[in-house]
């Protein structure tokens, strides 16, 4: 079996699967149950000054029969006393010394506040700290969470304050509710962060009940925006992890978060630069024992690939993730329909005819049997037909050999001087 151990900025754990700071890590009882199930680490539900939570806190978005495709949460940080949490962290670490326990922290942007809580938390033996600069609701309205995380100067300053006194590795958790997450990631690195984690939840309103006109969830008829997570946010999170991983100024490890529901998702995040991953919604949906399938699946995948250590996956796809201007304009793929497999539902034809490039023809053979065929000369390789097709293998996207050398938009722009001679650099 492959070696699943990871080392994130000096924080070691037996596997890359951590529980994210959220309701599943609210107590020692829960974290200990998680470790018994097989989770390699846990980020304790965010600690800070006392708060009050409301009743009716969660909502889910279901889509096309899939429950909890997205998850909305208006719960705040822990509402349990700091002393109780610290006692339980100490007890849990003593019981599970080889598992990673990271304390998530959030206080007002004041140096003395950060110094005080860091010292108190580190005294109970945590393996690291995660600074919550991402929570988008409730706390942000008090100048904390995403309110700090959206201002690079505050990210840099508060990270620096923590590093002044911290003796354990410091992870900075970033908000996705910003135009460019690499800006705040760079600020965290400048402040001395040992690692970054992303993404925190996305501003959202789950739904409106069309019968009562109440928001979902609502508190006595009033609603507020919450944090959105779950499978629906995975593409956003994966992009942000990749964007940071390919930025040379962000030269610290990344803990990937956002819609990770199985071992395949974890592999994707690690290929895109994450050293390890954090999971929340999937555990809330299915319970802690889902980690068993994650560990088994990851082990089998690594064995099949002949990979000795999970750390060998980290960043292997980063060099393949670039900007649009670096893509080859002369690369061409076309759709080919396998009529032996096609069930003639015509979804590909409808999609192409109505919303794409009108290049799938409905024809009949000599026996009068209908079939579909792509006019490859008009196909732009958009992939839509293969996306809407309900049958695996009925449509293949095939790369054609180009007679032209590779050329990107950026290369074309650099070569535009050639146009003065009447030659288009894309085709010559």
Which residues are CB-contacts of 378 (< 8 A; sequence separation ≥ 6)?
Answer: 357, 358, 359
Which residues are CB-contacts of 72 (< 8 A; sequence separation ≥ 6)?
Answer: 58, 59, 60, 61, 204, 205, 206, 216, 217, 226, 227, 228
Distance CA 428, CA 416 (A): 12
- 3-class SS at 299? helix
CB 315 within 8 A of CB 398: no
Crossing angle (nearest 10°) for helices 181-190 and 152-165: 30
Q: Which helix (H) or strand (E) holds 213?
A: none
Selecting among 135, 229, 352, 359, the annotated active-site residue is: 135
Per-residue b or e along 298-310, where b marks 16 or more CB atoms closer than 10 Å to that residue's CB: bbebbeeeeeeeb
Q: Catalytic site residue 345?
A: no
Distance CA 289, CA 34 (A): 8
CB 19 within 8 A of CB 43: yes
Residues annotated as catalytic are: 135
């Amino acid at each position: 079996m492959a070696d699943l151990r990871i080392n994130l900025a000096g924080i070691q754990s037996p596997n890359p699967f951590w529980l994210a700071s959220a309701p599943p890590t609210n107590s020692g009882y829960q974290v200990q149950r998680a470790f018994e199930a097989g989770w390699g680490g846990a980020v304790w539900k965010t600690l800070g000054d006392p708060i009050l939570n409301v009743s009716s806190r969660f909502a889910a978005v279901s889509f096309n029969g899939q429950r909890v495709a997205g998850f909305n949460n208006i719960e705040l940080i822990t509402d349990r006393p700091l002393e109780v949490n610290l006692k339980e962290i100490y007890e849990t670490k003593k019981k599970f010394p080889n598992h990673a326990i990271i304390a998530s922290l959030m206080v007002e942007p004041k140096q003395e506040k950060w110094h005080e809580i860091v010292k108190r938390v580190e005294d109970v033996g945590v393996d690291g700290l995660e600074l919550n600069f991402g929570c988008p609701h409730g706390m942000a309205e008090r100048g904390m969470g995403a309110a700090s995380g959206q201002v690079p100067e505050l990210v840099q300053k508060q990270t620096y304050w923590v590093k002044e006194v911290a003796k354990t590795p410091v992870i900075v958790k970033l908000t996705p509710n910003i135009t460019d997450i690499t800006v705040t990631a760079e600020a965290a690195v400048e402040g001395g962060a040992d690692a970054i984690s992303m993404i925190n939840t996305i501003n959202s309103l789950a739904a409106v009940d069309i019968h009562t006109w109440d928001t979902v969830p609502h508190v006595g008829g009033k609603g507020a925006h919450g944090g959105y997570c779950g499978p629906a946010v995975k593409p956003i999170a994966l992009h942000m992890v990749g964007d940071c991983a390919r930025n040379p100024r962000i030269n610290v490890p990344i803990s990937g978060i956002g819609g990770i529901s199985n071992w395949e998702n974890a592999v994707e995040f690690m290929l895109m630069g994450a050293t390890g991953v954090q999971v929340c919604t999937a555990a809330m949906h299915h319970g802690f024992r889902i980690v068993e399938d994650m560990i088994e699946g990851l082990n089998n995948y690594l064995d099949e690939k002949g990979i000795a250590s999970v750390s060998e996956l980290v960043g292997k796809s980063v060099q393949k993730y670039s900007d649009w201007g670096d893509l080859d304009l002369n690369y061409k793929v076309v759709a080919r329909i396998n009529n032996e497999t096609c069930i003639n539902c015509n979804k590909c034809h409808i999609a192409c005819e109505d919303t794409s490039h009108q290049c799938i023809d409905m024809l009949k053979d000599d026996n009068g049997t209908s079939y579909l065929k792509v006019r490859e000369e008009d196909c732009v390789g958009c992939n839509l037909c293969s996306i809407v097709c309900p049958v695996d293998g009925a449509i293949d996207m095939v790369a054609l050999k180009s007679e032209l050398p590779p050329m990107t938009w950026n290369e074309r722009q650099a070569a535009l001087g050639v146009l003065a001679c009447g030659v288009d650099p894309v085709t010559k």
